[in-house]
Every structure is written in C-alpha cells, then in structure tokens.
Structure 1
Amino acid sequence: MERLKGLGAFALAACLLGGAAHAQQKELRIGYQPNPIQDASIAMMEAWGAKKGVKIIKVPVSYGVYVEKMTASLTSGSDQYDIVWHNDDWGQLWAHLLEPTNDLPGIKYADKWGLDPIIWDNKDGKTTTVPMGHTFGVFFYRKDLVPEDKLPKTWAELVAVSKALQDEKKVKFGFVGAMAANNTWFTWFWSMWTNNCDVFEPIFERSNAVLATNGWKPAVSNPCMKEVVEFWWDAINADKISPRGMPAYDRNEANAVFSAGDSAFTVADSVYWGTFNDPAKSKIAGKVSIAAFPLGPRRTNPFAWNDIWGWSIPKAVPAERKALAKELLSDIMSDEAGQTALWAKTGAPPPNQELWTKIAQTDEFMKLLKKVSLDVPGKVHAAYYFEKWPAAHKAFSDVVIKAVTGKREDIAKSLADGAASITEAAK
C-alpha cells in the first residue's frame, strides 16, 4: 500500500512537472487568410520559431468572414490572436485597436510609401503594422507578339496595336480585363488613374478629413471619367478590341482569356506573373512580360499603384506575448533568405525594400517591376480608407457599369445621374 502511495505521489509530481513545462512553452497564434503571400511569410515565422523555441500556431480564416471575425475579436479585447493579417482596405478601421510598431528595429527596412500614415497610423501618429509584402497591378503583354519598341504608351496606341494584331488573326482580342464589382482595379481604376481621375475629389486624395470637408464629392460626372467610360464603350462596341461580355468579368475570367492566348494585353495583380508563365496553367508560358500603363489624354507622366499587406499585434495581447510577437515581426524583416524565398514563391516584392535592388541584379522580373512600378514616383493608393468604402466602391461600380452597358450618347447623363448614389454610400 505504501509503495502504491509512493507511486501515486510520483505520478502526481510527474504530471505537475509536465504541466508546468507545457505551460512554460512559448506560443504565438497567427490569424490569417490562406494565400501564397501570407503562407510564405508564415513560413519565415515558423523558421524563426524553430530557432527560438516558439511554437507558431496558424489559425486560418476565410476571406469572406475575415474582417468581421477579426473586428469582433479586436473590439472585444480578446487575446485570441497574437498576430493578425492587416490590409490597407481596413487600415484605419483597426488602428486604435492595434499595438504601435514604430519601436521595432526591423521597421527601418520598410518602404515608406507602403507605410503611409494616412492608412496605418493611429491618432498618436504611430504606425500599427509591419509589411509582409507588396501587392499591386501591372500591365501584362505578349512579348512574342509585341516588340518592346512597339508597346502602346497611350490609350489610342493600345487600340491601334490591338486592332492590328486582331486583323492579322494573332489574337481574338487586344485587351481583356475584369470590370465587375470588386474587380475594378483591372479596367476602371487603372484607366481612371492614368487619366488623372479618381472616385472622389480632390483627385488622388486619401485623407478622410479632406474628403469629408469636400462633401465626399464623386468625380464620375467630371469630363475625365466620361472619357474613361467612352474609352471602354468603344473598346467593347466600336473598336471591338475587348470581349462583349467584359462588363461582367471578374479577375478569374479575364485571366483565363489571357492565359488561353486569346488576348494580347491585360492588367492583373503582379503575382500572376508566375501563373501566366506556368506551362501547366497557361498556353502562353514564356511569352509574357510587363510594361508601363498606357496613359489617357489627361496624363503625361508615368503612373503606378502599390500597397502593402501587413502583420499587426492586437493591443489586448498580454505583455510577454506582445514582446515576443514584436521580436518575431522585427526579425523576419531582416531575414534575407526567407524574404527572397517569399519573392520566388509569389512574385510579391518582399517587405525589406533594401532587397529589391539586390534581387533585380539577377532577376529580370524584379528589374521590370522596379522600372514600371516600384520606382515610379507618380503612385496612387489603390483604395480609400474609411468604414463606408466597400459600399461606396460598389456604388461607383454600379454607376460606371450602367453607363458602359447603355448607349454611348447617354454616358454623360448616366454618370451625372449616378453621382449622388456614391456620395450617399460614402456618408
């Protein structure tokens, strides 16, 4: 009996010791959306964790419910996540709920344009994110069909080159792009921005205070937007360089047309470089390159858009885990091998800006990206940053799609009639 008591005491002690050891094990929980860029960034976290003895616990959340779920977690003061994916689309919505990251040594490597205070700063002027990678769109073209010296530099040249290729039966379409709601970047937005136009006035302004002072006045009834819609109406109906059904295309449909070899030009996220050049997924693999955006009649200087995805730390995280999360995010900013691997896997420029030039020395795609986007001074942010932006975005999309699918002579009236709906959605 005494022996059994001794064994029982030993077992209890062992259990308590094991529980204590387990309790002392360091862990960090990552809330994210499964995506190649995020997966590659988390791979760096896992490599860091393996060296530091920290277990990285991945908590995937689908995009459709991500913002709602994370907002609920943040506003409730929960410490469910130690690090969360943070996007420019909701940067201002979460700023007051997130830990400032200015004190991270690794933040010095970040591109300052990507960390624009309008998007990420809290009311005290402190940034609330650490970049994981850059996302933006580029103008893709078939280099086997269009020599570099014949690349279109204007909308008019895009039409002319497209029609010539179609007349020669080399492609079905000159340009294909996505037009449907939430796919506006790939037709409406790039053409709007290259014509010095925008959703709201002042043009290219992203400060909510300035936009509100201006009454959230939309630019859709301005001559610059009328020219944009007329350009696409002609591309579809008169010049016929784009598919008849393009007003309903999302990015997947547009990318499929380009990958099938049926179009000479498209605009898509830069990360599709790998997909377009993958023989298993594309009939034009090895025949694709990128160029500067063709400009509208109101713009003469080059244009690009460029934004970051980031990682952030909820304020409610306990101090010890918060310090560990900061150490992790700071360290991966200087992880050259990991960031180079992120670039190789995704085609997304890594968050450490100092690596761009180094990668470009041996990588032709990075060299091109620097030329047509990353180093272009005339950039714009790809969204607005206020709570009602999704509704305003949808209202804008409804207005321009109605205009482009109606009669050409009705475009100006259609845009003027729809302007109020965008302001109403924004307010």
Structure 2
Amino acid sequence: MKQLTKLAVATTVALWSAAGSADAQVTELRIGYQPSPIQDASIAMFEAWGAKNNVKIVKVPNSYGVYVEKMTASLTSNSDQYDVIWHNDDWGQTWAHLLEPTDDVAANKFADKWSMAPVVFANAQGQNTVVPMGQTFSVFFYRSDLVKPEDVPKTLEQLVTTSKKLQADGKVKFGYVGGMSMNNSWFSWFWSMWGNNCDVLLPPYERDNAKLAANGWKSGMTEPCMQKTVEYWWDAINTHKIVPRGMPAYDRNEANAVFMAGDAAFTVADSLWWGTFNDPAKSKIAGKVAATRFPLGPDRARPFAWDDIWGWAIPKSIAPERKKAAKAMLEAMMLDKEGQKKLFKLTGAPPPNTEFWAEIAAEDAFMKLLKESVLDSPDKVRGAYYFPQWPAVHKAFNDTVTKAVTGKREDIAKVLAEGAPLVSKAAQ
C-alpha cells in the first residue's frame, strides 16, 4: 500500500507538472453522467480530489434513455460541454475515435485485464480510451427469507416450479421480475440466453470482430436455443404467470421497484444494486436479500457470468490543460483506497483497482461471492459486442424478441426467422 501511495503522489505531481502553468487556470471540471449508485460514489472521489486541488466538480446529470444520443451529439460536434463523461463498453467502439487516449494514466495498470481488453475500448491506433469506474455485471438476487440457499433454482425449469410454489403459498405476487425492454435486455433476455449456450451473433460468446465478419455477421435468432429462450419467457408470462404481464416493456428501474417492494422472489440486476436492495430507507426487503449464480437452460451445464466495466472518458475536443487536469483526477480516483472501499460498501460493485479486491473479500461475504462466481471465473462472456453498429444490432434483437414474446406462441419461430436478417444487416 505504501507503493500505491507513493505512486499516487508521484503520478499526480507528474501530471500536474506536465500541464505547466496552464493548469492553474483550470478551476472546474464538468462531469457528464447518469445518476446511479456507482457513478455517484465515483464522483464523490472526484469531489474529494477537487477539494484538495481547488477544482470545482460540476455535475451534469443526464437521463439514461437519451444518454448515448446526447453524448454522441456532444462528441461529434467537438463541444467542450463536458470534461469527463461516463463511458460504457456498450458504446466503447462508437466513441473510441472521439476520445482522448488514457494510456498515460499510470494507475490503469491496476485495472482488470479482462475488462480493459483492446477489443472493448481501444481506438484504431490501439490506444486505450477509458479509466474504469468499477466492475459491472449482474447476479441472481433472491429473497433469503423465502428461499434457503440450497433451494435456490439452479435451472430455468426450477425457477418456474419454485416461483409457482411461492405464489401459491401467498408469499409473493410474482416469482421473477427483470428488465426486458431495449437497453435492459441483460436482465431477462441476455442472461437466460447466455445460460443456454445462445447469443445474438454466431458463434456464441465470440467477440472478435474479424471472426464475426468471417462468419457473415450471422445472427443466432433462428438457433433452437433462441426459440427455447423466447418460448420460456412466453410461458412464464402467459402460462405459468410467474412474471408481470407487462414485463416485456419493463426497464431496470421498474423491475427493481417491484423487487424492493417485496412483490417478487427473484430478480437479476447489476451487483451494484446490492446496497440499495438492502437499504431500509429504500427497500421493504432490506436484510432479506442474497445472491448467487444464474439458473441454467437445458443446453448448458457449466456456470457462466458476464463481466464488464463502467468507466470514465475524456472528450478529445477539450483544451489540453483540461485533459491533463481530468487525467490527474482520474489517476487519483484509481488510487483512492478508502473512496473505493466506500464505493463497494454503498453499491456492491467491485471497485476499479484490483489491488483492493482481496482485502475487501476478506472483510465482506458478498465480495467473496463475486470473486468466486464472476471475477475469478473462467466461464465468462462479455456483455456486449464491440463494433460501432452494436447499438443498432441490439435494437434489432430486442425488437424481434419483444415482438415474438408478445405475439402468439405458435408464431415465435416465424417472428425470429423474420428478425434474423435484420440483426445481421444491422451489424453490417
């Protein structure tokens, strides 16, 4: 830890010194972000750094629903509206050419290598364009007051039977609830699909763009596993009635609200909601929540997890002295041990500096679970694709499965077949 402290001092001094007298004029840094527990906790570290360095941190919140469009417009117009922005692997390649390289932020060497792979955030020159905020992935949350650890569903079939029993016993209104709408596919569609050896594009779990291109950007929409996934959710909604009927339109916030109200026994949500789910001021089930691995479909035997980061990026268009100040702030954040431990305590998201993981896991059972089931697991998939057209592919996918699950069951295969070329076309 002494070495980390020395590095923090040395790199911050170096970054500020390199900026010269111009940095003395940087009196504020504007942060473009989407309010959420992990971003709020990360920005708190920015504010602590700003207080020490006489830099005012100006927070500019943006709605999640319009965030990508709004930031893309700002970046492509060479605006200097923001000095640091929330950056996500979903749009890593969309923005890479518009962002300042961050290879000179030395503390990035402590970031998770899986999440910082060049395929995700590198620009055309192979330069990194992100500093991590924290690991983001989902886990299977369950009501520990209703289900014992040994009885938690390990398969999708068991999720149905357990849910129906809890409903029949009057314990909950619904067995499962999770986001399903566009930009919320992870919380129902993706985890159940990946847990059955299925994926948006073929081959499953492949994220090498050259290999995907060589395969003709072929979609997985007509694979048997995809039809099984859609039929599973159709049955969950219409036959078994273990989920809310309107769930195909739910976003993460609506699903989380149902779970925190005590109306559902199970959900999938980002681990960073651990703190909120267990906050008595916000959740009726505080202290009654546990988490485990995902239930698997019939076509997969090994566990799986997905693992990505949320991060921060610096627009290429801002003035040089502002870039240097922003990098100094991000460097300090990466080395702020107490701030990162607080981030985990408040959110349940593993912090960006991997040097702190073992110490936190030794003190906290939830972090120990995350290390064993996700962070250290060899069975992982990246939660998105990494080419500029991914948002369009995601929309084509979600439009197709939504149409299929809200129509007639006998039409599911037909709808998926009609959507398959649209997904492939969007990728090209």
TM-score (norm 2): 0.88
> Could you say which residue in structure 2 is the equivalent of 1:14?
none
| C-alpha deviation, 1:245, in angstroms | 2.9
> Could you say which residue in structure 1 is the equivalent of 2:157?
156
The 5-angstrom pairing of residues 9-158 of structure 1 reads: 24-35=24-35, 36-158=37-159
Distance in 2, matches of 1:23 and 1:291, equals: 47
| C-alpha deviation, 1:77, in angstroms | 4.0
Structure 2: stretches of 5+ with no match in the other structure: 1-20
Query: Given that residues 28 and 325 in structure 1 are in contact (C-alpha distance below 8 angstroms), is that contact kept between their aligned partners in structure 2?
Result: no
Write the deviation string for residues 293-318 of structure 1: whole angstroms up to 9, x where unpaired.
00111111111112111112233344
| C-alpha deviation, 1:169, in angstroms | 2.6
| C-alpha deviation, 1:333, in angstroms | 0.7
Distance in 1, matches of 2:402 and 2:81, equals: 42
Distance in 1, matches of 2:264 and 2:40, equals: 31
> Could you say which residue in structure 1 is the equivalent of 2:415?
414
| C-alpha deviation, 1:141, in angstroms | 0.5
Distance in 1, matches of 2:333 and 2:312, equals: 11
Write the deviation string for residues 284-341 of structure 1: whole angstroms up to 9, x where unpaired.
2211100100011111111111211111223334444333322221222111011112
Distance in 1, matches of 2:26 and 2:336, equals: 21
Q: Secondary structure at the match of 2:31?
A: strand
Q: Secondary structure at the match of 1:96?
A: helix
Q: Secondary structure at the match of 2:27?
A: strand
The 5-angstrom pairing of residues 221-232 of structure 1 reads: 221-232=222-233
> Could you say which residue in structure 1 is the equivalent of 2:402?
401
> Could you say which residue in structure 1 is the equivalent of 2:215?
214
Q: Secondary structure at the match of 1:56?
A: strand
> Could you say which residue in structure 2 is the equivalent of 1:179?
180
Distance in 1, matches of 2:29 and 2:169, equals: 56
Greater mean alpha carbon deviation, residues 285-294 or residues 340-349? 340-349
The amino acid of 1:370's aligned partner reads K
Q: Secondary structure at the match of 1:349?
A: coil
Structure 2 CA distance for partners of 1:281 and 1:150, relative to 1, 3 Å: same
| C-alpha deviation, 1:242, in angstroms | 2.2
> Could you say which residue in structure 2 is the equivalent of 1:7?
none
Query: Given that residues 27 and 57 in structure 1 are in contact (C-alpha distance below 8 angstroms), is that contact kept between their aligned partners in structure 2?
Result: no
Structure 2 CA distance for partners of 1:23 and 1:307, relative to 1, 3 Å: closer
The amino acid of 1:407's aligned partner reads K
Query: Given that residues 275 and 345 in structure 2 are in contact (C-alpha distance below 8 angstroms), is that contact kept between their aligned partners in structure 1?
Result: no
The amino acid of 1:26's aligned partner reads V
> Could you say which residue in structure 1 is the equivalent of 2:8?
none
| C-alpha deviation, 1:80, in angstroms | 4.4
Query: Given that residues 29 and 322 in structure 2 are in contact (C-alpha distance below 8 angstroms), is that contact kept between their aligned partners in structure 1?
Result: no
Distance in 1, matches of 2:66 and 2:82, equals: 16
Q: Secondary structure at the match of 2:269?
A: strand
Write the deviation string for residues 157-205 of structure 1: whole angstroms up to 9, x where unpaired.
2222222323333223222222222221111110000011111112112
> Could you say which residue in structure 2 is the equivalent of 1:361?
362
The amino acid of 1:100's aligned partner reads P
Larger radius of gyration: 1
> Could you say which residue in structure 1 is the equivalent of 2:324?
323
The amino acid of 1:340's aligned partner reads K
The 5-angstrom pairing of residues 194-209 of structure 1 reads: 194-209=195-210
The 5-angstrom pairing of residues 308-347 of structure 1 reads: 308-347=309-348
Structure 2 CA distance for partners of 1:278 and 1:413, relative to 1, 3 Å: same
Q: Secondary structure at the match of 2:133?
A: strand
Distance in 2, matches of 1:324 and 1:30, equals: 11
Structure 2 CA distance for partners of 1:376 and 1:390, relative to 1, 3 Å: same
Structure 2 CA distance for partners of 1:259 and 1:314, relative to 1, 3 Å: closer
Structure 2 CA distance for partners of 1:281 and 1:48, relative to 1, 3 Å: closer
Query: Given that residues 305 and 381 in structure 2 are in contact (C-alpha distance below 8 angstroms), is that contact kept between their aligned partners in structure 1?
Result: yes
| C-alpha deviation, 1:221, in angstroms | 0.5
Query: Given that residues 392 and 426 in structure 2 are in contact (C-alpha distance below 8 angstroms), is that contact kept between their aligned partners in structure 1?
Result: yes
Distance in 2, matches of 1:242 and 1:71, equals: 35
Write the deviation string for residues 127-160 of structure 1: whole angstroms up to 9, x where unpaired.
1110012222111101111111112111122222
Structure 2 CA distance for partners of 1:140 and 1:328, relative to 1, 3 Å: same
Q: Percent identity?
A: 65
The amino acid of 1:32's aligned partner reads G
Distance in 2, matches of 1:263 and 1:214, equals: 41
Greater mean alpha carbon deviation, residues 309-318 or residues 63-72? 63-72
Distance in 2, matches of 1:324 and 1:246, equals: 44
Structure 2 CA distance for partners of 1:22 and 1:410, relative to 1, 3 Å: closer
> Could you say which residue in structure 2 is the equivalent of 1:425?
426
> Could you say which residue in structure 1 is the equivalent of 2:267?
266
Greater mean alpha carbon deviation, residues 412-421 or residues 67-76? 67-76
Query: Given that residues 110 and 131 in structure 1 are in contact (C-alpha distance below 8 angstroms), is that contact kept between their aligned partners in structure 2?
Result: yes
Supply the RMSD in Å over aligned alpha carbons: 2.3
Query: Given that residues 25 and 54 in structure 1 are in contact (C-alpha distance below 8 angstroms), is that contact kept between their aligned partners in structure 2?
Result: no
The amino acid of 1:46's aligned partner reads E
| C-alpha deviation, 1:28, in angstroms | 4.5
Greater mean alpha carbon deviation, residues 155-164 or residues 124-133? 155-164
